[in-house]
């Protein structure tokens, strides 16, 4: 079966500044630079972000490789810690301005649409240590000023902007789970961080409305949306899944699209004496400055069950996840290397939900991909990674995405994570996601089999689906 995608479809890939550029010539450290400098043992192979994939020096060659992989759009990010010299005054680093101008121009020269994100978990660490980072209302204003500088400098050529990538990762990994620096575990502080991230997104959009120079310009936010599947139809499991959905999906989605946090969520937080501190003026800004477009990152579904202990247990500190617990469903299909369930049907469910509950606003798959450890084991005699598993993974997700589009979903693109194998937070280079392989010792970059496949896909705009895949999903499609 051949599936035709829309003519102007974005066939692209996503990455970020802090995961590719390296720390060359940067004026400030972000939270991960600092984390690595002080706690190298936390990072796989003790490999930090110093060099990454050397995009700062290699960007022209890298973009040429991206073109060879068939990408017509690429999402990356501008590093706050690189662009701004004085974080308080918002003065510009001229070398950084020159660098980002050159990157944007190089993308355009190759016919690749630059899609720019303004925050990929990479808060300047000085703002964390001096003010408390996203717990601080002052940092919200500093971020909005940084965003405004980006619109002034680059919106003449960049039409597609995103305020944050996966803000819930900042909240959960930094303030609940201990996965990211500052490794805080405190539910009430996590709630305040979540609110300030949403406010910062809205105030950046406010800046965009007055500064943007591009009539075709649009701005959005990128959320890692994951429907929460209950373990059973028992009311306790269903309620747990609803609470997980409120916190993990609807908090940022409702506020960004509708301008309001879900009332059920704010009522729960109030009852727990955990609601964020807010002003009427700031809540008004959230209501007024909503997104034009949504980016959706999807990797795996969320399986939810009733928590082990009742949420009204005594002498326990507040945490949003006291209302729900993850569980491992038996017999599911896995990316065994990454430990993530493979469930392409969820793409369809996300699309239908946006269509039904969020006015079918324009959106795209901003990240989707498959990380594999020790990927060199799949190299052929010529050294080319034969990543057929990645081709199958992508095909199956696009199969379900196409079904949603054919039913009216307003999805205009699909980005893989990532163009070139990139450095990741604390996992460093353990898992490889790219269409293009990176030798971290020599910085030699080579197209994988999937890059050649993606080139054919984007050129024709037609997805070839095998009978095996059609048979696999025959009962669900």
Largest CA-CA distance found in the chain, in angstroms, rounded: 64
Which of 166, 306, 375, 396 is catalytic? The answer is 166
Distance CA 155, CA 112 (A): 16
Closest CA relative to residue 103, chosen from 65, 77, 70: 77
Q: Cα–Cα distance between 473 and 476 in angstroms, integer? A: 5
| Model pTM score | 0.97
Non-local (6+) Cβ contacts of 309 within 8 A are: 316, 322
Q: What is the distance between the alpha carbons of residues 75 and 160, in angstroms, rounded to a whole number?
A: 9
Residue whose entry in the numeric block shows the structure tokens 């066939």 = 11
The verdict on whether 166 is a catalytic residue reads yes
pLDDT computed for residue 394 by the predictor: 98
- Which pLDDT tens digit goes with each residue over 119-156? 999 999 999 999 999 999 999 999 999 999 999 999 99
Radius of gyration of the chain (CA): 21
Tokens of 12: 């692209």
- β-pairing verdict for 334-335 and 340-341: antiparallel
For β-strands 228-230 and 302-305, DSSP reports them as: parallel
State the fold for domain 2-473.
TIM Barrel (3.20.20)
Phi, psi of 294, deg, nearest 5? -120, 135
Distance between CA atoms of residues 160 and 163, nearest Å: 10
Q: Rounded mean pLDDT of 371-375?
A: 96
Q: Above 90 in pLDDT, residue 476? A: no
Alpha-helical regions (H) of 155-234? 167-175, 187-211
| Mean pLDDT in residue range 41-61 | 97
User: pLDDT, tens digit, for every residue of 150-198?
Assistant: 999 999 999 999 999 999 999 999 999 999 999 999 999 999 999 999 9
Q: What is the pLDDT of residues 203-253, one digit of tens each?
A: 999 999 999 999 999 999 999 999 999 999 999 999 999 999 999 999 999
> Per-residue confidence at 110, pLDDT binned at 50, 70, 90?
very high
Predicted pLDDT of residue 133: 98
Of the residues 172, 306, 349, 367, only one is catalytic, namely 367
DSSP per position, 229-287: EESSSSHHHHHHHHHHHIIIIIHHHHHHHHSS--HHHHHHHHHTT-PPP--HHHHHHHH
Region 410-415: mean pLDDT is 98
DSSP state letters, 65-115: HHHHTT-SEEEEE--HHHHEEETTTTEE-HHHHHHHHHHHHHHHHTT-EEE
Quickly count: other Cβ atoms within 10 Å of residue 113's Cβ: 17
The CA–CA distances, whole Å, from 116 to 61, 113, 128, 153 equal: 20, 10, 24, 12
Residues 6+ apart with CB under 8 A from 11: 70, 71, 72, 73, 413, 414, 454, 457, 458, 461
d(CA 69, CA 286): 39
Residue range 305-352, pLDDT digits in tens: 999 999 999 988 999 999 999 999 999 999 988 889 999 999 999 999
The answer to whether the CB of 210 falls within 8 A of the CB of 153 is no
Annotated catalytic residue 272: no
């Amino acid at each position: 079966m051949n599936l035709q995608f829309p003519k102007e479809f974005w066939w692209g890939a996503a990455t970020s500044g802090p995961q590719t550029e390296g720390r060359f010539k940067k004026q400030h450290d972000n939270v991960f630079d600092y984390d690595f400098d002080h706690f190298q043992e936390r990072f796989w192979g003790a490999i930090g972000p110093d060099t990454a994939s050397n995009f700062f020096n290699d960007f022209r060659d890298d973009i040429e490789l991206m073109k060879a992989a068939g990408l017509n759009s690429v999402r990356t990010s501008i590093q706050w810690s690189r662009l701004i010299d004085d974080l308080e005054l918002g003065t510009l680093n001229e070398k950084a301005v020159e660098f980002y101008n050159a990157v944007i121009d190089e993308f355009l020269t190759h016919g690749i649409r630059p899609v720019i994100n303004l925050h990929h978990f990479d808060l300047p660490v000085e703002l964390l240590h001096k003010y408390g980072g996203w717990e601080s209302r002052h940092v919200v204003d500093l971020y909005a000023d940084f965003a405004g500088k980006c619109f002034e400098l680059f919106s003449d050529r960049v039409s597609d902007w995103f305020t944050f990538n996966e803000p819930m990762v900042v909240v959960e990994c930094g303030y609940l789970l201990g996965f990211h620096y500052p490794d805080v575990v405190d539910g009430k502080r996590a709630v305040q961080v979540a609110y300030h991230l949403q406010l910062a997104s809205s105030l950046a959009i406010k800046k965009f409305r007055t500064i943007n120079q591009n009539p075709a310009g649009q701005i959005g936010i990128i959320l890692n949306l994951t429907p929460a599947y209950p373990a059973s139809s028992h009311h306790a499991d269903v309620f747990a899944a609803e609470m997980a959905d409120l916190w993990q999906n609807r908090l940022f989605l409702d506020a960004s699209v509708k301008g309001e946090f879900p009332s059920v969520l704010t009522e729960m937080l109030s009852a727990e004496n955990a609601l964020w501190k807010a002003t009427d003026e700031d809540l008004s800004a959230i209501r007024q400055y909503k997104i034009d477009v949504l980016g959706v990152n999807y990797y795996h579904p969320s399986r939810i069950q009733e928590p082990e202990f009742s949420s009204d247990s005594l002498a326990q500190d507040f945490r949003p996840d006291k209302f729900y617990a993850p569980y491992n469903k038996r017999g599911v299909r896995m990316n065994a290397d990454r430990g993530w369930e493979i469930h392409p049907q969820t793409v369809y469910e996300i699309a239908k939900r946006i269509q039904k509950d969020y006015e079918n606003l324009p959106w795209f798959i901003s990240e989707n991909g498959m990380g594999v450890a020790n990927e060199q084991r799949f190299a052929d005699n010529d050294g080319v990674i034969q990543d057929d598993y990645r081709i199958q993974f992508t095909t199956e997700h696009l199969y379900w995405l196409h079904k949603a589009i054919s039913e009216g979903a307003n999805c205009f693109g699909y980005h893989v994570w990532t163009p070139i194998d990139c450095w990741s937070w604390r996992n460093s280079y353990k898992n490889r996601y790219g269409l293009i392989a990176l030798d971290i010792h020599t910085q030699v970059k080579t197209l994988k089999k999937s890059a050649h496949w993606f080139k054919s896909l984007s050129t024709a705009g037609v997805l070839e689906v095998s009978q095996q895949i059609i048979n696999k999903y025959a009962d669900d499609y």
